[in-house]
Amino acid sequence: MSNDAYTPSAARYDHTPYRRAGRSGVLLPPISLGFWQNFGEDRDETTLRRIMQRAFDLGVTHFDLANNYGPPPGAAESHVGRILHRDFRAHRDELIISTKAGYHMWDGPYGDGGSRKYLLSSLDQSLERLGLEYVDIFYHHREDPETPLQETMGALADAVHSGRALYVGISNYSPEATRGAHQLLAERGVPLLIHQPSYSMFNRHVENGLLETVDELGVGIAAFSPLQQGLLTNRYMSGVPAGSRAHGSNGSLTERQVKDKDYQTRVRGLSEIAHERGQSLAQMALAWALRHPQVTTALVGASSIPQLEQNVQTMQNPDFTAEELERIDEFAIDGTAR
């Protein structure tokens, strides 16, 4: 990694319309930087460092991780930890750093799920990789029907009471489980800060009760995969480029998804509306997800600085007319390209 010193932009807070997470005291940028699938050991750490620096210069104060982000699992936290130590030690209090546990992380019966054993052990490992004394938000990454919700929420509450996390969140929870988590945490004197569901024009499940639930409870939303892993960009409108997620057998997308006729029709229709708005398709998709006041931030990955800059520019045109939303609904169909 380069040894040149990093000095943040003095204007980094001048143009970001920070948004409140529910009814908490926490403000987040509308676009946050996520590290799922793009900060693994196959990436050049100097490039990763430049992306994090540029994000902070643009007012992106929220970096989102999980224990198993990589590849391999843990690699993203290790990369970010080294970069935080190198460039951000003097700015730790200007950052919101989150991590999660809930999916498979290590072998044996204690490396997955929602048990107290797994969650607190994983948090300790994450803190070691990140080189931090605490994270700002610690999430349970998924519902675990095998573990009592009371045990899982008790572990999250103890993460706060022990000083290892300032706030807690949940991810991939149903509206009903969200209510239960909120109540159990409140009984332990810990607020549920935020919920992290997948939400995009092609994955609209949060509109079936979750938006109303978090609004009632005063919980924020951090939407992940708002670009549907690249499907809501212009990247796949002319086929499958080499090196993309849909290229090869190990990608998170498949060529079948990209070549699906319904997908191609819908993505082209959405792209035309975005062009009329003076936006890229990605920018319109992000603005569309953020149009709900319950959605505090949208998490985006970035493989390059230009990609990051384009996404952050989304908020230059965040509003939609009723006619635009009606036209978008013709193409923004839940379940597209699954």
Q: Which pairing describes strands 135-140 and 165-171: parallel, antiparallel, or unpaired?
A: parallel
Of 34, 81, 99, the residue nearest 303 (C-alpha): 34
Q: Which residues contact 125 (CB under 8 A, 6 or more apart)?
A: 67, 74, 105
CA 69 to chain centre: 12
Contact indicator for 216, 19 with CB cutoff of 8 Å: no
CA 30 to chain centre: 11
Tell me what pLDDT residue 256 has.
Answer: 75
Number of domains composing the chain: 1
Instruction: Tell me 203's DSSP state.
Output: B
Would residue 12 count as lying in a domain? no
Cβ neighbour number for residue 15 with a 10 Å cutoff: 11
Can you give the CATH number for the domain in which 121 is found?
3.20.20.100
Task: Specify the long-range contacts of residues 234-243, CB closer than 8 Å, at least 24 apart.
Answer: 234/271, 234/280, 234/281, 234/282, 236/267, 237/264, 237/267, 237/268, 237/271
Contact indicator for 252, 245 with CB cutoff of 8 Å: yes
Would residue 146 count as lying in a domain? yes
- pTM for the predicted model, two decimal places: 0.94
Would residue 217 count as lying in a domain? yes
Q: Domain of 141?
A: 19-239+282-321
* Phi, psi (rounded to 5 degrees) for 75: -65, -40
CA-to-CA dists, residue 129 to 99, 201, 236, angstroms: 11, 35, 35
Contact indicator for 305, 49 with CB cutoff of 8 Å: no
Would residue 1 count as lying in a domain? no
Tell me what pLDDT residue 337 has.
Answer: 83
Q: Output the six-digit token pair for 278.
A: 């003076």
Would residue 125 count as lying in a domain? yes
pLDDT tens series, the chain, 338 aa: 556 899 999 999 999 999 999 999 999 999 999 999 889 999 999 999 999 999 999 999 999 999 999 999 999 999 999 999 999 999 999 999 999 999 999 999 999 999 999 999 999 999 999 999 999 999 999 999 999 999 999 999 999 999 999 999 999 999 999 999 999 999 999 999 999 999 999 999 999 999 999 999 999 999 999 999 999 998 877 655 555 555 444 456 677 787 788 999 999 999 999 999 999 999 999 999 999 999 999 999 999 999 999 999 999 999 999 999 999 999 999 999 88
What DSSP string runs through 48-59?
Answer: HHHHHHHHHHTT
Q: Which residues of 236-274 are buried (b: 16+ CB within 10 A; e: fewer)?
A: beeebeeebbbbeeebebbbebbebeebeebbeebbebb
Tell me what pLDDT residue 257 has.
Answer: 82
Assign 99 to helix, strand or coil. Answer: strand
Angstrom distance (rounded) from CA 38 to CA 19: 25
Would residue 150 count as lying in a domain? yes
Angstrom distance (rounded) from CA 147 to CA 114: 6
Instruction: Tell me 114's DSSP state.
Output: S
What DSSP string runs through 251-281?
Answer: SSS-HHHHH-HHHHHHHHHHHHHHHHHTS-H
Tell me what pLDDT residue 249 has.
Answer: 43
Contact indicator for 226, 199 with CB cutoff of 8 Å: yes
Would residue 258 count as lying in a domain? no
CA 108 to chain centre: 28
Would residue 260 count as lying in a domain? no
